[in-house]
Amino acid sequence: MHEMSIALSIVDAVESKAREEGAGSISGIELVIGKLAGIEPESLKFCFAAAAKGTLAEEALLVIEEPEGIGECGECGKRFPVSFYYAECPECRSLRVKIVSGEEFLIQSITIEEQEGE
Amino acid sequence: MCDTCGCSTEGGAVLRKPGESDYHVHVSESSHDEHHHHGENHGHDHDHGHHHESRSRTIALEQDVLLKNNLLAERNRGYFEARNIFALNFLSSPGSGKTSLLEKIIPVLQQHVPVAVIEGDQQTTNDAERIQALGVPVIQINTGSGCHLDALMVNSAVKELVLQDNSLLCIENVGNLVCPAMFDLGEALKVVIISVTEGDDKPLKYPNMFHEADLCILNKIDLLPYVDFDARKCRENAMRVNHHLEWFEVSAKTGEGLAAWQEWIEHKMKKR
C-alpha cells in the first residue's frame, strides 16, 4: 500500500506550493499517472481523501490523466502500445523494447482559491 | 504517542540497534518538521454557499510526485560517492533468504572490504541481531506500518551508523515485491532476490520490481530437485521484463554459486 505514502507526499507538495502562493484552499489537483507507473489511481484517490484531511487540500478534486504505455523497439524502431514491461515488438518480435511513455508520475497543476472577501 | 520514549510521534519509522534496548530514534525531517498543521485550517467554516468572493487560479507545477524522495536519494547517493561507499538495495518478497544471503556473503567480503548493513522490517530487531553476530556495524529501521524503506529513513540511518570510506553498504529493504520498487534510496544498484520455492512466473507477476532491478539472484537452488521450479524459464521471464538484468543462481545454504556473485561485487567495487 505505497499509495498512502504517495498520497501524503502529494498533499505535502501541493500544500507547500499553495502556502507559497498565499492560497486559502486548494480546489483542484491535476495528476498525470502513466499506465505503467505502478500506481493504482483508484487506490490513490481513496488514500488521498484520508491524507488531505485537515489540510488546505481537504476539498480538492483530484483529476487524473493516465497516458497509455508506448514502447519503442530497439531493433526496428517501431512504436507501439504496451500494457506492460514484457512487451514484444509486433513488427520484428524483438524483446528489446524501450518504454517511451506511460511511466509518468507528475503533479501537473493545482487550482487554488484566493480568499479575499472572507 | 510512542510507547518507548513517550514522545508525541504517531507512527512513523524508528531506528533501533540490536542489544541496546534504550536506543531509539524517530525518523523525521528535523529541519522542517511541520508536516500537516492539523487543526490550523479550521478557522474558516466549509460553508460552500458563500465562497463567491474567492478567486480561482491554476498554477502549473509539473513536479514529480516523488520529487522529495528523489532529491534526498540523490543526496544519499552523493554522500556514498564522495566516500566511495558501494550501496546495494536488496529487495524480495518475505522469506526468499535476503538475511541468510548476507550472513553467508559478508564474512567472505569482509576480508577485503569493510561492510555495514541497514536492516528494514516493520517490527523487531531480529535481522539486525543476526547481522550483528557477524561483527559488522548494523542498524535496524522499523517502518511500523510502512511497506517500504524511503530515502529519508536511509538518510537518518546513515547518520547513526559509522561508515568507513571505500566500504560496502548493504540495505535490506522490507520484504515486499511491490512498493519498494518505487522508492530510490540512493543506492548504486538494486538487487532483487527470488527463491525456487516461489513461482517461476514471479518476474511476470511483479514486473515493476524486476524492471527496476540491476541484478537478480535466484536463491535456494539446493532445493531445485524437490520443487516444480524451472530456473531457465524463470530467467527467461525475468529477461522479458528487463533485458539488462544480470543473473546469478546461488544457495545460501550450501554456498553454491556464491563465489561468482562475490567476485561480481568486488569487481564492481574496483571499477568505481
Do A74 and A27 reside in the same domain of the chain? no
* Contacts B67 to A, Cβ<8 Å: 13
Q: Are B140 and B87 in contact (CB under 8 A)?
A: no
Do A32 and A4 reside in the same domain of the chain? yes
Report how far apart, in Å, the C-alpha atoms of B226 and of each of B186, B199, B217, B223 are.
Answer: 38, 14, 19, 6
SS3 A117: coil
| CB-based contact, B57 to chain A, within 8 Å | yes
What's the pLDDT at B265? 95
Please write the tens of the pLDDT for every residue from A6-22.
Answer: 999 999 999 999 999 99
Do A89 and A107 reside in the same domain of the chain? no
Do A96 and A57 reside in the same domain of the chain? no
Interface contact B69-A117, CB threshold 8 A: no
Percent of chain A with pLDDT over 90: 74
Nearest to B29 by CA among B159, B179, B118, B148: B159
What's the pLDDT at B262? 95
Please write the tens of the pLDDT for every residue from B127-149.
Answer: 999 999 999 999 999 998 888 99
- What range does the domain containing A1 cover? 1-67+103-118
Do A9 and A54 reside in the same domain of the chain? yes
> Is the ipTM beyond the 0.95 threshold?
no
In angstroms, rounded to a whole number, what is the distance separating the alpha carbons of residues B95 and A1? 19
Residues lower than pLDDT 70 in chain B: 1-11, 30-54, 272
Report how far apart, in Å, the C-alpha atoms of B106 and of each of A20, B110, B267 are.
Answer: 49, 6, 16
* Contacts A6 to B, Cβ<8 Å: 65-66, 182
Pairing relationship of beta strands A97-101 and B14-17 according to DSSP bridges:
unpaired
Do A11 and A61 reside in the same domain of the chain? yes
What's the pLDDT at B139? 96
* Contacts A115 to B, Cβ<8 Å: 44, 53-54
Residues lower than pLDDT 70 in chain A: 1, 116-118
Do A5 and A40 reside in the same domain of the chain? yes
Do A75 and A92 reside in the same domain of the chain? yes
User: Which member of A10, A24, A58 has the closest CB to residue B65?
Assistant: A10
What's the pLDDT at A115? 72
B79: left (phi over 0), alpha (psi -120 to 50) or beta: alpha
Interface contact B59-A112, CB threshold 8 A: yes
What's the pLDDT at B44? 45
Copy the grid coordinates of residue A55: 489540510
Do A16 and A35 reside in the same domain of the chain? yes
- CATH number of the domain residue A15 falls in: 3.30.2320.50
What's the pLDDT at B40? 41
| CB-based contact, B67 to chain A, within 8 Å | yes
Report how far apart, in Å, the C-alpha atoms of B170 and of each of B103, B139, B190, B218 are.
Answer: 11, 11, 10, 18
Distance from CA of B161 to the nearest CA of A (A): 25
What's the pLDDT at A59? 94
> How are the residues of chain A apportioned to helix, strand and coil, as percentages rounded to the nearest 5?
25, 30, 40
Do A28 and A58 reside in the same domain of the chain? yes
Query: What total number of domains does chain A contain?
Result: 2
Which chain B residue lies closest to A85 (C-alpha atoms)? Answer: B241
What's the pLDDT at B5? 62
Distance from CA of B48 to the nearest CA of A (A): 10
Mutation site for A-interface testing, chosen from B10, B27, B29, B36 by largest number of A Cβ within 10 Å: B36
Do A55 and A73 reside in the same domain of the chain? no
Do A27 and A79 reside in the same domain of the chain? no
